[in-house]
Amino acid sequence: MRLVAPLLVLLVCSTLTNRPPARAQELPALPCGDIGRAETRTTLYFGLDSKMGAISEAQWKTFLAREVTPRFPNGFTVWQADGQWRRADGIIVRERSKVLLLVHEDAPAVRAKLTAVIESYKHAYAQESVLWETARVCAAF
């Protein structure tokens, strides 16, 4: 019995150390069924208050036409929201927001486009941040 325990520990350790390292991009396949396929859903949250004043509906539509549509011509969804967040200086701010939802492939080129949209908005409207969330989803078009 005293010999079995060390052998069991050795067997378990060798099994664990012989596994290939998992990469961050390797996620389990999604069971999307016959009608769907694995995609990525990205949701961006844009505050509509800026140091230059409130961002108007016309300014928002111009931003979509110039920055989002050319990068994501296959489509997206936008809706109005009311948000709250804490600025870097600790002050809690409540403001109207626009939420932009995109369903797309997970690829470096797409992530670069998303980054460009965010940076363009932050620069154009003196924004401290744009919230970006991404999740793997099943989708059918």
Task: Give pTM, 2 decimals.
Answer: 0.76
Instruction: Quickly count: other Cβ atoms within 10 Å of residue 100's Cβ.
Output: 23
Domain segments of the chain as ranges: 24-139
CA–CA gap between residue 106 and residue 70 (Å, rounded) = 18
Could you read off the pLDDT of 17-30 as tens digits, one per residue? 334 334 445 556 66
| Assigned fold of 24-139 | Alpha-Beta Plaits (3.30.70)
SS3 label, residue 66: helix
Contact status, residue 95 vs residue 83, Cβ threshold 8 Å: yes
What does the radius of gyration of the chain's CA atoms come to, in whole angstroms? 23
The larger pLDDT score, comparing residue 50 to residue 67, is at 67
pLDDT, average across residues 5-33? 48
**CA nearest to 95, candidates 79, 84, 107, 105:** 84
Could you read off the pLDDT of 61-100 as tens digits, one per residue? 999 999 999 999 999 999 999 999 888 899 998 999 999 9
Res 34: pLDDT:
83
H or E stretch at 139? strand 131-139
Res 9: pLDDT:
35
CA–CA gap between residue 83 and residue 80 (Å, rounded) = 10
